[in-house]
Structure 1
C-alpha cells in the first residue's frame, strides 16, 4: 500500500475534511503510542498503519 492509498482510505472512512486532523491527533497504542501521521513519518509501512486505524475505528471488513 502506498501513502496515497492510505490517505484515500482515510478520506473514505472519516471524510476528507476530518481524516488528516484525526490522523494527526488520535494516539493509537498499537502504533507505539503514536498517531497515524507520526507512525507514517517514522517509517511504519502504510499497510500496518491502516490495519491499526481499521481496528481502532472498528471499520467494516469491506474497508480492510
Structure 2
C-alpha cells in the first residue's frame, strides 16, 4: 500500500481533520509506542500501520 492510499483511507474513515490529528498525536502500542506519522517516517509499511490503526480504533473488518 502506498502512503497516498493510506492517507486517503484515513481521511475516508475519520474525516480529513481527525485523520491528520490521529496520525500526528495518537500513540499506538502496536507500532512500538509511535504515532502513525512517526512510524511511516521511520519506514514502517503503510499497510501495517493501517491495520494497527484499524485494530486500535475498532474499524469494522469490511472497511479495512
TM value normalised by structure 2: 0.95
Displacement after TM superposition at 1:51 (Å): 0.6
Displacement after TM superposition at 1:25 (Å): 0.2
In the TM superposition, structure 1's runs of 4+ consecutive aligned residues that sit over 2 Å from their partners are none
Distance of 1:54 and 1:62 partners within structure 2: 11
CA RMSD of aligned residues (A): 0.7
Number of aligned pairs? 64
Cross-structure match for 2:38: 38
TM value normalised by structure 1: 0.95
Unaligned ranges ≥5, structure 2: none
SS at match of 1:17: helix
Distance of 1:33 and 1:60 partners within structure 2: 23
Distance of 2:8 and 2:31 partners within structure 1: 20
